[in-house]
């Protein structure tokens, strides 16, 4: 048995656990117990997707240990988040940045691969509904647009203007080029969004990986209920 350190983000309606070791790996539940039961599987999928060593990817039973907890106002039960981890306030070295950049680019490429395999991109896959944050995307095209729009909004916080007509991967490459054009971009620069949420480079990279997986998983799971599983590409390694 090994420990799986996690950071807990919660409110009165739900819990999100974030892996401390794998930026972007997460599990949600109505309770801490539910999220704890899901996190080991989420991390195993993440390790396999990230092509980590076989020994790391095939760990046995993992005991989830919450090392930090944060109560937030964000609608965690709807899949939203706002927390900035203490370690995300620290500068990042080039090796770590390069590794996370590679993963973020792979994640965008994989989302586009999944999207391209959907036979009817404008077919409603879920029932239409609204949250406090707006209308939930219901088609494959709307999900891709939402992921791209979120990326563009987050880039704007760092002073980077991404073109709306670009694809997700092309836009993400432009995002990294924009980040790297700023001297000291690996520093602990803190950015505050109009709604008061605080961001750093480390948090941005985590959120990109999380958001791709969040909507990629929803897209994959819904798509295989409409079309044969073999037709839908699964580069992230999502389970049914």
| End-to-end CA gap in the chain | 26
Question: Which pLDDT score is estimated for 130?
Answer: 79
Question: Which pLDDT score is estimated for 77?
Answer: 86
54 pLDDT above the threshold of 60: no
Question: Which pLDDT score is estimated for 133?
Answer: 65
CB 236 within 8 A of CB 223: no
Neighbours of 88 (CB within 10 A): 20
Cα distance between residue 48 and residue 77, in whole Å: 27
Top pLDDT among 61 and 228 is at 228
Cα distance between residue 43 and residue 53, in whole Å: 13
86 pLDDT above the threshold of 60: yes
Share of the chain above pLDDT 90, in %: 85
16 pLDDT above the threshold of 70: yes
pTM over 0.85: yes
DSSP 187: S
DSSP 239: -
56 pLDDT above the threshold of 60: no
59 pLDDT above the threshold of 60: no
* Beta-carbon contacts of residue 213 (< 8 Å; ≥ 6 apart): 24, 25, 26, 46, 107, 236
Q: Which domains does the chain have, with CATH numbers?
A: 2-83 (3.30.160), 88-231 (1.20.120.450)
Question: Which pLDDT score is estimated for 52?
Answer: 82
- H/E element, 27: strand 26-29
């Amino acid at each position: 048995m090994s420990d799986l350190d996690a950071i807990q983000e919660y409110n009165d309606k739900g819990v999100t656990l974030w892996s401390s070791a794998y930026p972007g790996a997460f599990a949600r539940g109505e309770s801490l117990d539910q999220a704890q039961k899901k996190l080991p599987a989420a991390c195993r999928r993440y390790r396999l997707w990230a092509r980590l060593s076989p020994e790391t990817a095939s760990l046995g039973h993992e005991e989830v240990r919450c090392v930090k907890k944060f109560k937030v106002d964000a609608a965690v039960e709807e899949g939203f988040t706002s927390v900035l981890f203490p370690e995300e306030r620290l500068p990042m070295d080039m090796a770590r940045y390069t590794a996370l950049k590679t993963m973020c680019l792979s994640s965008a490429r994989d989302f586009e691969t999944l999207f391209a395999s959907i036979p009817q991109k404008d077919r409603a896959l879920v029932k239409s509904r609204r949250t406090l944050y707006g209308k939930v995307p219901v088609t494959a095209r709307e999900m891709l647009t939402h992921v791209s729009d979120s990326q563009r909004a987050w880039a704007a916080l760092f002073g980077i203007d991404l073109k709306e007509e670009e694809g997700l991967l092309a836009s993400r490459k432009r995002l990294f080029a924009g980040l790297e054009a700023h001297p000291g971009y690996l520093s602990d620069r803190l950015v505050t969004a109009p709604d008061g949420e605080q961001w750093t480079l480390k948090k941005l990279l985590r959120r990109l990986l999380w958001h791709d997986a969040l909507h990629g998983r929803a897209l994959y799971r819904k798509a295989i209920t409409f079309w044969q599983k073999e037709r839908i590409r699964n580069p992230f390694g999502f389970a049914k």
